[in-house]
Copies of this chain bind each other. A is one copy, B any other.
Amino acid sequence: MRPGYAINELVREFGVTPRTLRFYEDKGILAPQRRAKVRHYSERDRTRLKLTLRGKRLGLSLEECTEVIDMYEPGQANDTPQLLHLCEKIRQHRSLLIEKMRDIEDTLKAMDEVERSCLEKLLANTAG
């Protein structure tokens, strides 16, 4: 039994349903081997799943997730035009991520404000 994962192992580890894994397979995100119809996921599958779920948490669509994953697995992009194209895609995704970062920072600041005034009111309540 080579290192690999049954469907239910990934299901438990990542808190998704089997349906989700099969759906991702349909979409070409995962490509488990079969031993008599039964799926066996590789380390690479697990990584791609992890990256996909991370992308989803950031609001990416599955298609965008695969785009990002494809950037991580440049495979054989060795000629100059392809490398330049990859660089450009990286630049774009990075600026999107930085925008999200700013969004989060702004939201966190605002929430700190709300919490502060909330605590003040609570203090006033216990004092009164």
Query: Which residues on A are within 8 Å of B, measured CB to CB?
Result: 54-60, 68, 71-72, 74, 77-80, 83-84, 86-87, 90, 93-94, 97-101, 103-104, 106-108, 110-111, 114-115, 117-119, 121-122, 125-126
* Bound: A59/B103 CA distance, A: 11
CB-nearest residue of chain B to A97: B104
Tell me if A84 and B122 are in contact (CB < 8 A).
yes
Contact across chains for A106 and B59 when beta carbons are under 8 A apart = no
Counting chain B CB atoms within 10 Å of each CB, the highest count among A72, A104, A117 belongs to: A104
Stoichiometry, copies per complex: 2
What separation, in Å, do the CA atoms of A114 and B90 have in the docked complex?
8
Asked if A58 and B103 sit within 8 Å, CB to CB, the answer is yes
